[in-house]
Amino acid sequence: MRTTVGIIGAGPAGLLLARLLHGAGIDSVVLEARDRAYVEHRQRAGILEQGTVDVLRAAGAGARMDREGLRHDGIELRFGRRRHRVDFPALTGGRSVMVYAQTEVCRDLIALRFAEGGPLLFEAEALAVEGADTAAPRVRFRHQGREDVLECDYVAGCDGFWGVSRAAVPAGVSRVFERTYPFGWLGILADVPPSHDELVYARHDRGFALLSMRSPSVSRLYLQVPEGTEPEEWSDEDVWRELERRLGTADDWTLRRGPVTQKSVTPMRSYVHEPMRYGRLFLAGDAAHIVPPTGAKGLNLAVGDVVTLARALAHRKETGSDELLDAYSATCLRRVWQAERFSHDMTALLHRAPDATAFEDRLQLARLERITSSRAAETDLAEAYTGFPLG
């Protein structure tokens, strides 16, 4: 099998890249290890930055998002049973975010990919990228029990944190920057309308809590839990009671309860692999970097990477110049590090480390007081949350 761009992974990065390349008249083949149902139901991100919304619309993938997504003009911070709203448009000159689940973004892009004639191969697991530093890279993969080879001009490693692409970069070339956190997020999905019309980020002495949503009738809620916690350790009743404690306010706000349909634990990690390019292999999205979800940046970073890559490949096709491909890694990493910084700062601002001292608790509260009393500090948060410029 032969194509111009071999794309490994049909997450948001791989699917959007395929769509953008199609728009530029560049052919590609997408290989995805899992089946279609798995990819379309995997619960993950839900906040789209303004820039991501604009890209999806321009790619012709925004129709259902515009109908069913929820535009949010702010978030609420809670600490000491107080509430403070951060008003995005007022602080950023009109920017907002969109609540539209990653599952839906993937569903829309998969439908478009099949409508335009594919190729998108499910249950096609890439085994290795070979010859990344040559003019003829290849992806070895297994599909329907048979091994095959995809010959390409370029390979896009969009296969997430646990994929195989990154392993094709020799150890002597790679540099990894990493931090793990001594806690994770216990997330539930519940069939109940959200108890607030915007996301609520709560700092509490017992740990962080987040009230979020997937739709007007489905709530997504999270609790900070110790690293290594298993979802079964928490009964539904325990989860609701703890959410009530951490999200509680001094006024008459109450948390609506409903049937829990999913429960899972997400570990927290910051990770950057440099460079994001080796020869003709380009890493994009979680294959190259991970952020803790507190800043809602993971999916948006993946979108930024593939916009940059698609533009560089289109430039190569039109002009024959490698200039933008050569700049790919540095261009992406500038934005990646801003998102890493913001995600780390939001995590440190709102979570309680198991070994936190009374001094650190006071500093955390002082930072929150600063954000709620200084327009400059609040603007910094609002600008980062609504997104850094793409590309």
Interaction site with ligand FAD (CB under 6 A): 8-14, 31-34, 39, 44-47, 102, 125-126, 158-160, 163-164, 266, 285-286, 293, 296-299, 302
Which residue, 62 or 387, is less far from ligand FAD as judged by CB? 387
Tokens of 195: 């108890």
Least distance in Å: CB of 361 to ligand FAD? 26
Least distance in Å: CB of 168 to ligand FAD? 11
Q: Who's near 155: CB < 8 A, 6+ residues apart?
A: 5, 6, 7, 8, 129, 132, 137, 139, 165, 280, 281, 282
Least distance in Å: CB of 93 to ligand FAD? 23
Least distance in Å: CB of 328 to ligand FAD? 15
Q: Rounded to whole angstroms, how far apart are CA atoms 242 and 208?
A: 10
Q: Is 271 noted as a catalytic residue in this protein?
A: no
Which residue, 44 or 257, is less far from ligand FAD as judged by CB? 44
Which residue, 54 or 361, is less far from ligand FAD as judged by CB? 54
Which residue, 204 or 297, is less far from ligand FAD as judged by CB? 297
Give the phi and the psi of residue 387 in degrees, each rounded to 5.
Answer: 120, 145
Which residue, 68 or 237, is less far from ligand FAD as judged by CB? 68
Q: Is 72 noted as a catalytic residue in this protein?
A: yes
Q: Could you tell me which residues are beta bridge partners of residue 283?
A: 157
Tokens of 186: 């216990």
Q: Give the pairing type, strands 289-290 and 260-274.
A: antiparallel
Q: How far is CA 188 from CA 30, 39, 171, 265, 266, in A?
A: 31, 19, 38, 9, 11
Q: Who's near 225: CB < 8 A, 6+ residues apart?
A: 183, 184, 185, 186, 207, 234, 265
Which residue, 37 or 135, is less far from ligand FAD as judged by CB? 37
What 291-294 contacts at long range (C-beta under 8 Å, 24+ apart), as own/partner pairs, is 291/339, 291/340, 291/343, 291/344, 292/181, 292/268, 292/343, 292/344, 292/346, 292/347, 293/45, 293/185, 293/266, 293/268, 293/343, 294/201, 294/208, 294/343, 294/346, 294/347, 294/350, 294/351
Least distance in Å: CB of 73 to ligand FAD? 19
Question: Is 59 in a helix, a strand, or coil?
Answer: coil
Which residue, 233 or 322, is less far from ligand FAD as judged by CB? 233
Which residue, 284 or 324, is less far from ligand FAD as judged by CB? 284
Q: Is 297 noted as a catalytic residue in this protein?
A: yes
Question: Is 329 in a helix, a strand, or coil?
Answer: helix
Least distance in Å: CB of 343 to ligand FAD? 9
Catalytic residue among 22, 181, 293, 328: 293
Q: Give the pairing type, strands 209-215 and 74-79.
A: unpaired
Catalytic residue among 72, 273, 289, 351: 72
Nearest to 139 by CA among 14, 315, 304: 14
Contact 285, 305 (CB under 8 A): yes
Least distance in Å: CB of 220 to ligand FAD? 8
Q: How far is CA 158 from CA 11, 28, 210, in A?
A: 7, 13, 28
Least distance in Å: CB of 388 to ligand FAD? 13
Q: Rounded to whole angstroms, how far apart are CA atoms 166 and 174?
A: 9
Which residues are part of the catalytic machinery?
72, 201, 293, 297, 385
